[in-house]
Structure 1
């Protein structure tokens, strides 16, 4: 099972990824984790990424795709994987498609968790207030202003991926505002159709 989960921050992608990992025994591949691992391992692409980061520059799409290409060759990813945080843009999706095509690999599904952004902001604001009320520091991710900035970035950069994958008949949408177990069940239904 080779998947991409889409949805804005706070949509529940992390929770659902964890459940898919447990159910199918496939790794969740985070580009941040893969980048750090490649740098630590000193792979050719990792060394390239290290020099880019040392200059304070952002790692290019080519490097990220190269790191993904190396990672999906590892034994635990042979039976499939979930891409987490990648692709973020249509250009990255095109580069990913080209790399997978060279390897003779196809994605099974792209699942988008559809959410009400105002309700998400409300959830974050409530969580921040509850945390403050307990006298605990508010997590950076739970800062409502920072969250709105992340939502704006998602809307401008990543949301166009929905149309990209819809045009390729790969996009499956599910209600990310439903209770967690219902979202899991909806994803299971989508995956079962692809596993058949």
Structure 2
């Protein structure tokens, strides 16, 4: 009888450890096959047949369909250029040039992958509606309070913000084979509420 109880306890511990590690691997996937530029990260083969199991599990958990590697690349950022987590208590500016692409989009999401509800109905920008300077660079504010120019509103109490920059029909997808990222806009914190 003692042997059976020991086996049951061992099986329960093994199941708990296995499920716990699976949960961590899906919520915080290992950085395998990553392309990085500053705070931005992309999984090289996210939309290809050779995507690693951790990235595939994380995509399934988020309910997200990846771009085909032939269509483009998705870069994500959850930190600013200094390594601080993006938070609704702070304001940021996303600025700089984008790589040569046919279409791009930049959006902000909460920790559950949902866009932030706001009266303006503004959830992000694309190449069709973002203003650019004479060099073709963008300058988009990310803040809970209204900002002049291009502005993506977020919730002031959001503990975690995820930015997603999708580059469609781009040579950046071809670059992913060499694991080097194109130059992407910087994410700089401009201030925080105390």
TM-score computed with the length of structure 2 as normaliser = 0.21
CA radius of gyration, larger in: 2
- Which structure dedicates a bigger proportion of its chain to strand? 2
TM-score computed with the length of structure 1 as normaliser = 0.21
- Which structure dedicates a bigger proportion of its chain to helix? 1
